[in-house]
Amino acid sequence: MRAVVAVLLFVTTVHAALWGVFRDKQEAPDFKGILPSVSYAPFEGTSHPDVDNIPNAEKIRADLKKLAPLTRAIRLYSSTGGVELVPPIAAEFGLKVTVGAWIDKNVDRNEREIDAAINLAKRNSNVIGVVVGNETVYRGEQKVDDLIGLVKRVKKSVNVPVTTGEIWNIWRDNPELASSVDFIAAHILPYWENFTDKQAVDQAVYIYGMLRDKFPGKRIVIAEFGWPSAGYNLKNANPGPFEQAAVLRNFVTRAESIGMEYNIVEAIDQPWKFFEGGVGPYWGILNAAREPKFAWTGPIVNENYWKLALLALLVGVLMSLPILRLTEATVMQSLMLSAAANGIGAWTATVFAYWTGHYFVFGSAFALTLGLILLVPLVLIAMARIEEIAAIAFGRNPLRLLAKGPSAEPAVAGSEAFPKVSIHVPAYFEPPEMLKQTLDAVARLDYPNFECVVIINNTPDPEFWQPIQDHCRALGERFKFINAEKVEGFKAGALRIAMERTAVDAEIIGIIDADYVVQPDWLKDLVPVFADPRVGLVQAPQDHRDGNRSLMHYIMNGEYAGFFDIGMVQRNEANAIIVHGTMCLIRRAAMDMAGGWNGDTICEDTDLGLAIIEHGWLTHYTNHRYGHGLLPDTYEAFKKQRHRWAYGGFQIVKKHWRRFLPGASRLSPDQRREFALGWLNWLGAESLGVLVAILNLIWVPIVAFADIAIPDKILTLPIIASFVVSLLHFVVLYRLRVPVKWGQMLGAMIAAMSVQWTVSRAVANGLITEHLAFARTSKGGFSLMSVEFQAFWEAVIGILLLIGAAVLVVTNNQKEVREIYVFAAVLVLESLPFLSAVAIAILENSRINAFSFWRRTAVRTLELIGLRPVAMPTVAGPSQPVASEIHREAS
């Protein structure tokens, strides 16, 4: 424990030191004077001024009181809609005003604006100029000649200088416009011209000199110069609080030194300008709360930096505390977990900084809130996977895993040494030859005291049950045959009937599926575990003997193996295994206490296993393969099986969640945690992945065409990080625990990803339905492939995600916004599970799915290079009649 605490303190110290090392601190010239002019718009909030954002005198007076110590004058852009209140109030604070008349294509509005501007200039002595129109020519809303006419009209009506505001190149290219105004009001905004913050001041000074040279003797005013403090980059132009402070302090110092007249855009952030490429709200020297965004003297620093650092450290420490509960955690295990926890803390601080430093309209606020809500389970899933990596890579070896070894010798003779086992084999329309193999293997069990109850349910065709009845008679009295019609409750109903026919003295119930060929030492090895009266259940893994039927079956078998060699082994350490309905031994007393088989879920085995654990029984697991079954015949069957498991799992969540409340059952905190994280990691991760992918698809046109600055790095980078964690989780744990080759491991990864849509659809079904019919998994090679393409919806969604990524890249080509490229990369990553399903569906119908294709290819290759081909080994497990036939046929 002392070592673990030392590790946590060390990681926290390093985390704090990193905040200190990476603290940004920049130098810039001090400015101790007063700005000559700033742009002022007396609006608040996110509502557009043309809708309902009407200022009042009190708000304007409060704003100008804040601005009076900072500037000598303000520039307005309109003269109606409440803005007409500004000049007389500005006079109260000794502020000069440049009045603006907003000009666009609306002739009536233009008339109102011009009349109002003229009246303001006449009635307020502090008005020092009138600007008719703002970038009107640039926006294409007025032709140069028409605008000149409006300027001349205003000049005749007022006694102050009159001009129009335009981007500098409009003045350069239209000298007749310059001739018609009293002074040139040029806008120089280097951000919009893709200059870096380091180039911005030099570019402005250069343009100022160019205008002076082109229009000698003309008064030149830089009517807009500024830099945004947040938003998207525009190619090389990076917005940011440090960049804004440095650019403005450098600019005003240079401008004062050369006698430049200038106006800073703008005084106060305008959240309603969200349509201006994401940076529109962030040009103010004051934020929307009317607080300074930076200091004009001294080093440029983030005043809230240490508050964010403290938040990051606190979250990191809190998320590290569960490490103290781990039993015998190693130093490296603690180090990895604590580093991950502190990484979450740093991300939390970044989220907080983003949330408090940005403005949101309803749509962007909703998107960000929803995104963060969805990221919470995503982060928990990533942390759970990191914890599993740390436990397996650096933690202690499993202590509770039943290892294969010499069978326990009985201490006494007789029935007490070998408690009676009743093996139940439920079957529904199973191929008779396959079921005979299963029963023959049971007959070969090296255990003296067992019976076998074969229950065929709802299978009226005698071709399926008659051969099994005859075979049971041939195998002897140990084998009981039941043919039950009109059984309700599917497999659970059949198993209830089997229990009724079970020998009274049977203490242990064994469950195997109809396709499982068990090893002779299954009972001999595992029944002795029940000598401990606390043990209620012993589970052995599933495995398959036909993994080399095809390339698809090969990778499917690798995918199954991961669950039994990784997840089940780790869950067993907390006595929290997932019970599955084959290769399972259950103490009869534990089954009775838990209520027996229930038909209210379609995963009756997992349901019963959880109920047994909830009653306080111990469970044990071995990852030694004591039996081998058959894989689903087709990809369609594989998906149907996974849908049944996921739907049944969701039913179990709905049925049992109350028992996870404190005091509601005998579940320990570790057991509650394992089951909760297990459900979240499986059902939640897959459903969340599909939901996020669909939401991102919906968001693509908004990002591509509406310039809304969401999603940001705080949403997209965690998705990428979670994908990387999942990838590492799969690869590292497979290499450490699952004895498969690299090719089968990569194939297993594709198979695992391919059922994301299937699992999420099962969860959706579980939300809207109470019960679905039990769907038998087709096995034994008797099922034909469906004529329908088995990944249609996956193909649709996967292709749409790729199209969305392409749209983002193409529309971003002119702006080169990094966050949009990251978003496009996220869409590509999100498409991989869907495309994996497409790949397997295509593989199933192609020649390369057959191992014979690869064998012939290998032979031809060896012949071409002059080598003699040798026999290829098989890849499946023991007792492989189907696989052996395939190899003989291929030979």
Over residues 6-26, mean pLDDT: 95
Which long-range contacts link 590-596 to residues 24+ away (Cβ below 8 Å)? 590/536, 590/537, 590/615, 590/617, 591/509, 593/617, 596/496, 596/499
Give the CA-trace dihedral at 300, 303, 305, 311, to 10 degrees. Answer: -170
Is 56 a residue whose pLDDT tops 80?
yes
Which tokens in the block code for residue 214?
């082109």
Q: Which residues contact 747 (CB under 8 A, 6 or more apart)?
A: 551, 554, 555, 558, 559
Across all residues in the chain, what is the average pLDDT?
91
pTM value > 0.75 = yes
Name the residue among 722, 665, 644 with its Cα closest to residue 689.
Answer: 722
Residues 427, 514: contact at Cβ < 8 Å? Answer: yes
Predicted confidence (pLDDT) per residue in 871-884, tens digit: 544 444 444 444 44
Q: What is the four-CA torsion angle of 238, 239, 240, 243, rounded to 10 degrees?
A: 70
User: What span, in angstroms and rounded, lies between the C-alpha atoms of 450 and 456?
Assistant: 20
What's the whole-number mean pLDDT along residues 366-388?
Answer: 90
Q: Is the pLDDT of residue 408 over 60?
A: no
Q: Which residues pair with 237 in a beta bridge?
A: 234
Predicted pLDDT at 783? 61
Q: What is the pLDDT of residue 888?
A: 38
Answer for the pair 493, 535: CB distance below 8 angstroms, yes or no. Answer: no
Asked whether the beta carbons of 430 and 479 are under 8 A apart, the reply is: no
The pLDDT-based confidence of 405 (bands split at 50, 70, 90) is low
Mean pLDDT in residue range 783-811: 89
- Determine contact, residues 630/877, Cβ cutoff 8 Å: no
DSSP string, 130-150: EEEEESTTTTTSS-HHHHHHH
* Cα four-point dihedral sign 507, 509, 510, 514: positive
The sign one gets for the Cα dihedral 435, 421, 595, 612 is negative
- Residue closest to 103 by CA, chosen among 64, 63, 153, 59: 153
pLDDT at 781: 64
Q: Rounded mean pLDDT of 564-593? A: 95
- Return the DSSP state at 579: P
Give how far the C-alpha of residue 16 lies from the chain's centroid of Cα atoms, to the nearest Å: 28
Please compute the mean of the pLDDT values over residues 315-341 and round it to a whole number.
92
Helix (H) or strand (E) run with residue 508 in it? strand 508-511
Quick: pLDDT tens for 715-739: 888 999 999 999 999 999 999 999 9
List the Cα angle 267/272/276 in 5-degree steps. Answer: 90
CA nearest 737: which of 546, 558, 516, 540?
558
pLDDT, residue 406, reads 52
Which residue in 554, 548, 546 sits closest to 840, CA to CA?
A: 554
Q: Which residues of 478-497 are buried (b: 16+ CB within 10 A; e: fewer)?
A: bbbbbbbeebebbbbbbbbb
DSSP state of 683: I
Q: Which pLDDT score, from 0 to 100, does residue 411 have?
A: 41
C-beta of residue 279 within 8 angstroms of C-beta of residue 52: no
Question: And the tokens for 47?
Answer: 């509502």
How deeply is 168 buried, as exposed, middle or buried, from its count of CB atoms within 10 A (0-12, 13-18, 19+)?
Answer: buried
Decide if pLDDT at 64 tops 50: yes
What six digits make up the tokens of 147? 């605008």
Structure token pair of residue 581:
């309905």
Per-residue pLDDT averaged across 596-607, rounded?
Answer: 91
Please report the pLDDT score of residue 882 as a whole number: 41
**Residue 42 contacts by C-beta under 8 Å, 6 or more apart in sequence?**
55, 59, 60, 63, 82, 83, 85, 86
Q: Which residue has the tokens 């703008």?
A: 266
Burial class (CB in 10 A: 0-12, 13-18, 19+), 88: middle
CA atoms of 601 and 655, how far apart (whole Å): 9
Can you tell me the distance from the alpha carbon of 361 to that of 273, in angstroms, rounded to the nearest whole number?
10
User: What proportion of the chain, given as a percentage, has pLDDT over 90?
Assistant: 78
Peptide bond into 711 cis (omega under 30): yes
At 76-103, the pLDDT tens digits run 999 999 999 999 999 999 999 999 999 9
- Strand order of the β-sheet with 618-621 is 479-484, 450-457, 421-427, 508-511, 584-587, 535-539, 618-621
Query: Average pLDDT for residues 693-712, to the nearest whole number?
Result: 83
Mean pLDDT of the 17-46 span:
93
- 168-172, 747-751, 881-885: least confident range: 881-885
pLDDT at position 857 is 72
Please report the pLDDT score of residue 870 as a whole number: 53
Residue 324 has pLDDT above 80, yes or no: yes
Alpha helix positions (H), 680-791? 685-706, 713-737, 742-754, 756-768
Strand partners, 33: none
- pLDDT grade for 410, boundaries at 50, 70 and 90: very low
Cα separation, 859 vs 17, whole angstroms: 61
**What is the tens place of the pLDDT at every residue in 509-530?**
999 999 999 999 999 999 999 9
Q: Residue 227 in 3-state DSSP?
A: coil
Please list, in sequence order, all residues whose beta carbon lies within 8 angstroms of the beta carbon of residue 743, skipping any fewer than 6 positions away.
none
- The residue whose two tokens read 């781990």 is 326
Buried b (16+ CB within 10 A) or exposed e, 660-699: beeeebebeebbbbbbbbbbbbbbbbbbbbbebbeebbeb
Q: Could you give the CA distance from residue 638 to residue 787 in angstroms, rounded to a whole number?
A: 16
